[in-house]
């Protein structure tokens, strides 16, 4: 057994030796190979082995995508119908598509640049000095189709250079007045077209929307004409940016809905979404320091006082320009919320409009003790004061006045803005040539194209019938402004309002609200005798109870009384037939004594502030020395002895047995019977 073991071991040794010699030969052959450089120089084309093509695709990293995914396909992608759900639920698809469009392919990566980057440099190459250029914000579009690479938001003059639409259209040059039917309407349309074509609007805020005049136009049917507005507000030593949602579909900040007619203060890196169509990143400039109101302006004189605010004349220290500042004092209480809502509404309205006949807002300051609105100055004061001093206006004066008012209201209505409180006190005179501006937008509201508002607001004598309807049936649109303008036109031509409590009598048993609801008014003699029929026809068309049949502002501008249409050769009525087709002649010639506003009001110029080379500023006082009347309480007229004699038997009968009662005899009889029954008990 042992010998066999040695034999087996020997055989195995021989096999191992044979295997080792073969490996040594292979190893020796490897050492005999030439160097790599020699081998490459000796290779022929037939010896070259090409790298095989691999069709597998690399997975994209978070910051890269495939080279085949170019931006052309993304840009040509059609706008899809909005899907259900909120914008935040559709965010992932939007962000993925934006990342695919804006990222770089893997092979396009480069080493970091060694160039020094100034951390205080502006965010746009368009800006050299943020402070000098008045930069207050940047919008970085996530899609370059909307706004390019960066939108620089700068402080800009918010007051139009001209006081008339005609002057704005012609660049301030004087030209003959346009005549003929529709001339005034075409003038306003030319003004709008100029603003659209040249981006000539100079309102203080920046607009995003579908309308051509918007600073950033998002041309999509689900985006509102004026979707959202951004503007600045000085807050202490800081300048903050406010975004106001004007849309019906919604504006989102960080995927949170702002809310229609609501506002929100923007923070650094906030993401603004206009539905799911356009997204922007907001950035503040490097220098946000702002001075307080008293550091920039010097108050001079108190001009007036309203329900919530006081108005002062002030001078801008850097330019010497004069402005009016509206000061809202902050006082804790129940009225603070109402005041704040009206204030925010007025700021948003004025920051989003720019028209020669709409008062412009230059600046706002939100400080711990008060809010300051720096407004355009109207040196001649309110139209109400002008009417009281003159008693009434001529037809020519009224025509000039209402050309401006109609054009200003058309500008607002075309942008779905309703003023809701047009009256002589809210129409300001810029000079003695009857250049006027609409003011006080505290009740103004932005509505949808077919929307209506339901809030009870306005001044009683000027409100439309639909405003006085019950809450459930109170639905009114832009037509309320036409009614108010009709009342103002009536007052200007005769000196007193068409509806008044003084008219209530046994022969005319209608209260103020009933007169308005039923459209009960006339043109009494002799006050209206000098006024031509076309003017009355225009008023009749504006003071129509049914808002659907009431004139629009376009129809008012095209009315023959406004355009002074040239008489036709074959027209025996001197071209006035078309202007009096709907005139209710029964309203004219009624003999009735009326009280002029000038006879019950006194307006005095208490101070006249010299303006140097500019018009003097007049400070008016209405009814000086008169104590404001308080609403009477039910028991003010009651004698104390009479009350003691009742002996606890109840209050006096509501309806007396007098011939002037407006209630039926049956109602009086029932009330007296009921009273006797109660007394018997």
Binding residues for ATP: 326
How many whole angstroms separate alpha carbon 401 and alpha carbon 357?
10
3-state SS string for 28-40 = HHHHCCCCHHHHH
Residue among 154, 275, 148, 150 at smallest CA distance from 209: 275
User: Quick check: bond before 51 cis, omega within 30?
Assistant: no
> Is 440 known to be catalytic?
no
How many whole angstroms separate alpha carbon 49 and alpha carbon 667?
115
Rounded to whole angstroms, the maximal C-alpha distance in the chain is 158
| Both tokens assigned to 61 | 């990293």
**Catalytic annotation, pick one of 363, 421, 537, 540:** 421
Residue indicated by tokens 């320009």: 321
**8 Å CB contact between 437 and 159:** no
Query: How many other CB atoms are there within 10 angstroms of residue 109's CB atom?
Result: 10
Residue among 391, 390, 82, 388 at smallest CA distance from 248: 82
Question: 176 CB contacts (<8 Å, ≥6 apart)?
Answer: none
SS3 content of the chain, % helix, strand, coil (to 5): 35, 20, 50
| Helix runs in 532-680, H state only | 533-542, 553-557, 560-563, 597-600, 640-645, 665-680
Between strands 151-154 and 135-141, the pairing is antiparallel
Q: Residues annotated in the binding site, as ranges? A: 326
Residue among 596, 598, 618 at smallest CA distance from 608: 618
The residues facing 274 across adjacent strands are: 251, 278
Per-residue buried b or exposed e for 51-82, using 16+ beta carbons within 10 Å of the residue's own CB: eeeeeeeeeeeeebbeeeeeeeeeeeeeeeee
| Both tokens assigned to 422 | 């047009």
| CB-neighbour burial class of residue 408 (10 A; exposed 0-12, middle 13-18, buried 19+) | buried
How many whole angstroms separate alpha carbon 240 and alpha carbon 262?
16
Between strands 361-366 and 228-235, the pairing is parallel
Catalytic residues: 421
């Amino acid at each position: 057994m042992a010998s066999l073991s040695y034999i087996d071991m020997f055989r195995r040794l021989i096999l191992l030796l044979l295997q080792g010699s073969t490996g040594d030969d292979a190893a020796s052959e490897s050492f005999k190979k030439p160097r790599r450089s020699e081998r490459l120089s000796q290779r022929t084309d037939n010896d070259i082995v090409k790298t095989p093509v691999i069709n597998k695709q690399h997975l994209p990293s978070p910051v890269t995508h495939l080279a085949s995914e170019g931006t052309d396909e993304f840009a040509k992608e059609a706008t899809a119908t909005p899907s259900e759900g909120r914008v935040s639920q559709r965010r992932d698809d939007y962000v993925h598509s934006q990342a695919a469009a804006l990222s770089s392919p893997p092979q396009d990566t480069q080493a970091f640049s060694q160039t020094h980057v100034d951390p205080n440099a502006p965010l746009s190459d368009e800006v050299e000095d943020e402070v000098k250029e008045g930069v207050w914000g940047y919008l970085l579009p996530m899609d370059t189709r909307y706004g390019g690479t960066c939108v620089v938001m700068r402080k800009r003059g918010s007051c139009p250079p001209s006081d008339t639409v005609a002057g704005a259209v012609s660049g301030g040059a004087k030209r003959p007045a346009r005549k003929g039917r529709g001339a005034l309407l075409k003038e306003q349309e030319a003004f709008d077209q100029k603003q659209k074509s040249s981006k000539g609007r100079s309102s203080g805020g920046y607009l995003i929307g579908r309308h051509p005049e918007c600073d950033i136009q998002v041309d999509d049917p689900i985006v509102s004409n004026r979707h959202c507005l951004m503007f600045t507000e000085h807050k202490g030593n800081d300048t903050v940016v406010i975004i106001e949602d004007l849309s019906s579909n919604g504006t989102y900040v960080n995927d949170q809905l702002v809310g229609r007619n609501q506002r929100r203060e923007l923070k650094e890196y906030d993401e603004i979404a206009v539905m799911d169509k356009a997204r922007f990143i907001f950035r503040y400039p490097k220098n946000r320091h702002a001075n307080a109101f008293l550091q920039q302006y010097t108050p001079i004189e108190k001009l007036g006082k309203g329900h919530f605010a006081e108005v002062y004349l002030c001078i801008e220290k850097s330019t010497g320009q004069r402005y009016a500042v509206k000061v809202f004092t902050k006082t804790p209480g129940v009225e603070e919320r109402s005041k704040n809502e009206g204030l925010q509404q007025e700021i948003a309205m004025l920051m989003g409009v720019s028209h020669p006949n709409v008062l412009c807002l230059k600046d706002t300051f939100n400080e711990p003790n008060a809010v300051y609105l720096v407004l355009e100055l109207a040196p001649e004061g309110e139209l109400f004061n002008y009417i009281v001093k003159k008693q009434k206006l001529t037809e020519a004066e009224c025509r000039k006045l209402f050309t401006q008012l109609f054009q200003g209201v058309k500008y607002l209505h075309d942008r779905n803005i309703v003023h809701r409180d047009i009256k002589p006190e809210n129409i300001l005179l810029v000079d003695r040539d009857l250049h006027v501006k609409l003011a006080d937008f505290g009740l103004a509201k932005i509505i949808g194209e077919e929307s209506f508002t339901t809030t009870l607001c306005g001044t009683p004598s000027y409100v439309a019938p639909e405003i006085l309807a019950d809450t459930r049936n109170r639905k009114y649109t832009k037509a309320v402004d036409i009614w108010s303008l009709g009342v103002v036109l009536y007052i200007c031509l005769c000196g007193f309002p068409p509806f008044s409590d003084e008219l209530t009598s046994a022969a005319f048993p209608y209260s103020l609200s009933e007169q308005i609801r039923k459209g009960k008014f006339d043109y009494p003699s002799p006050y209206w005798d000098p006024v031509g029929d076309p003017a009355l026809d225009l008023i009749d068309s504006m003071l129509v109870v049914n808002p659907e049949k009431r004139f629009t502002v376009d129809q008012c501008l095209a009315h023959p009384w406004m355009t002074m249409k040239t008489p036709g050769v074959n027209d025996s009525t001197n071209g006035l037939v078309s202007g009096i087709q709907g005139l209710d002649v029964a309203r004219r010639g009624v003999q009735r004594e009326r009280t002029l506003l000038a006879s019950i009001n006194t307006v005095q110029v208490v101070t006249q502030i010299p303006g140097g080379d500019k018009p003097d500023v007049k400070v008016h006082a209405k009814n000086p020395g008169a104590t404001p009347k308080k609403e009477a309480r039910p028991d003010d007229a009651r004698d104390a002895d009479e009350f003691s004699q009742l002996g606890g038997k109840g209050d006096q009968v509501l309806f007396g047995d007098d011939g002037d009662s407006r209630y039926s005899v049956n109602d009086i009889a029932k009330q007296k019977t009921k009273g006797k029954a109660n007394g018997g008990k």
